[in-house]
Amino acid sequence: MKTNAFEVASRYVYPSLRRRLVEILREKGLKQTQIAELLHITQSAVSRYLRMDRGALIDVAQFPDIDDGLKKLAEEIIQKRPTEYEIHLRLVQISLEMLSKGYVCSFHSQIDPELNPAQCRVCLELFG
């Protein structure tokens, strides 16, 4: 295994979750500048997420439970305006949830041909 679970989470899962969160906020009618302010990121980063230049490798919307969690987070962000660290904490928790449920295994095997998802139980055992 050349690419470990933590690397997959930080390089692929987290950005994909953030991209989906930006999309959800956009679907709610918010402008890029508003989204940037709420998420404590630049408007340029929001634009890159929306253009699929960043975080586009995993379609998070295909996992209804994860997508629902992001929709709830989006509502909390709009209503409560949490800090950058509170948002980060929630995104990391959702990332770990994705790993614990095995949602990332097939993607992981695509970027690391040495990985055999049928034999690897690292994420399931660590986070499940």
Q: What is the pLDDT of residues 85-124, one digit of tens each?
A: 999 999 999 999 999 999 999 999 999 988 888 888 899 8
Instruction: Answer yes or no: are the C-beta atoms of 104 and 6 closer than 8 Å.
Output: no
Q: Which two tokens stand for residue 22?
A: 């930006």
Phi and psi dihedrals of 29, rounded to 5? Answer: 90, 5
- Say if 32 falls within a structural domain: yes
What's the pLDDT score for residue 120?
87
Which of 8, 15, 6 lies closest to 39 in space, CA to CA?
15
Q: Is residue 19 part of a domain?
A: yes
**What's the domain count of the chain?**
1
Q: What is the mean pLDDT of residues 3-29?
A: 96
Binned at pLDDT 50, 70 and 90, residue 31 comes out as very high
pLDDT at 127: 86
What is the domain range of residue 24?
5-123
Instruction: Evaluate whether residue 128 is within a structural domain.
Output: no
pLDDT class for 71, splitting at 50, 70, 90? very high
Confidence check: pLDDT of 81 > 90: yes
Confidence class for position 9, pLDDT limits 50, 70, 90:
very high
Give a yes or no: residue 21 inside a domain.
yes
**By C-alpha distance, which of 107, 87, 127, 85 is closest to 13?**
107
Residue 89 falls inside a structural domain: yes
pLDDT: is 122 or 22 the higher one?
A: 22
Whether 66 is covered by a domain: the verdict is yes
> How confident is the model at residue 1, as a pLDDT?
62
Position 70 confidence tier, pLDDT thresholds 50, 70, 90: very high
66: which 2 tokens? 């994860």
